[in-house]
Amino acid sequence: MTPAAPPAGSLLAASALHKAYGPTHALDGAEFSIHPGEVVAIMGPSGSGKSTLLHCLAGIVTPDSGSITYAGRELTTMSDAERSALRRSEFGFVFQFGQLVPELTCVENVALPLRLAGAKRKAAEGAALEWMQRLEVDDLRDKRPGEVSGGQGQRVAVARSLVTGPRVVFADEPTGALDSLNGELVMQLLTEAARSANAAVVLVTHETRVAAYSDREIVVRDGRSRDMERAI
């Protein structure tokens, strides 16, 4: 199957993606697109291929065939170094369990992507505090991840994902380890902060209440995708 041209105005788009792990076809012709400032939820049951789709879109996994276009550039033909540079500077990530560095304080965790990019400590932590204030966790600046609640830690992780000014934030089950109240707060703050920065959010979830924060839903089953808005 020949990959189609990306939809007009899309920031990140994928067409005819195939990915197999041995005899298992994780992706079987999946399609995807997202525009700047848009929140798109990728939904589906466990094992449907939704996390594999996210990993391909983020340049973590290379598909066996198909096209992934980001800002007019083909991800599948980039070198590992080029994709790593994108993940450091233009992509942000929020994972189910936050994955904060336990030895660092919360402000140091949020500042870490900037420090890795070469920013001075004072400037990096200043920018980190601004995002922590927006995510309502600036009072935790000197605490370590083990000293804060799960909901607070996840908001710190969201601040870290946004501190570099990414154009795309990938959120893989960001509320999966939280109770419903903290999950709602994290989603509200994540989507509001991303939209204010005109960042697109690729949200993987199996929860309808979390998907409700998106502008559009794409359902993945057996490695195939279906855009629910276009299906109506």
- The predicted pLDDT at position 231 comes to 47
Q: Look up the pTM and report it.
A: 0.90
d(CA 163, CA 112): 9
pLDDT band at residue 157 using 50, 70 and 90 as cut-offs: very high
The whole-angstrom separation of Cα 84 and Cα 46 is 27
> What span, in angstroms and rounded, lies between the C-alpha atoms of 6 and 71?
10
Tell whether the model's pLDDT for residue 133 goes beyond 50: yes
- Residue 23's SS3 state is coil
User: Do the beta carbons of residue 191 and residue 135 sit within 8 Å?
Assistant: no
Q: What is the C-alpha separation between 69 and 86, in angstroms, rounded? A: 13
Mean pLDDT of 40-44: 95
Measured from the Cβ of residue 209, the count of other Cβ atoms closer than 10 Å reads: 12
Average pLDDT over all residues of the chain: 91
* Cβ contact 177:148 at 8 Å: no
| pLDDT band at 7; cut points 50, 70, 90 | confident
Which pair of structure tokens corresponds to residue 132? Answer: 């922590």
pLDDT digits (tens, 9 = 90+) for 20-40: 999 999 999 999 999 999 999
- What do you get for the CA distance between the two ends of the chain, in Å? 25
Residue 145: is its pLDDT beyond 70? yes
pLDDT exceeds 90 at position 232: no
Predicted local distance difference test score (pLDDT) of residue 3: 60
* Residue length of the chain: 232
Write down the pLDDT at residue 228: 75
pLDDT in tens, 72-121: 999 999 999 999 999 988 999 998 876 899 999 999 999 999 999 899 99
Answer for the pair 77, 3: CB distance below 8 angstroms, yes or no: no
Whether residue 154 is predicted with pLDDT greater than 50 in this model: the reply is yes
At 80, which helix (H) or strand (E)?
helix 80-89
pLDDT (average), residues 61-67 = 96
Helix (H) or strand (E) holding 152: helix 150-162
So what's the pLDDT on residue 229?
A: 66
Concatenate the DSSP letters of all residues of 192-223 into one string: HHHHHTT-EEEEE-S-HHHHTTSSEEEEEETT
Q: Are strands 200-204 and 168-172 parallel, antiparallel or unpaired?
A: parallel
Query: What pLDDT shows up at residue 2?
Result: 55
Identify which of 219, 111, 215, 218 has the alpha carbon closest to the alpha carbon of residue 160: 111
pLDDT of 230 over the 70 cut:
no
* Cβ 32 vs Cβ 38: under 8 Å: no
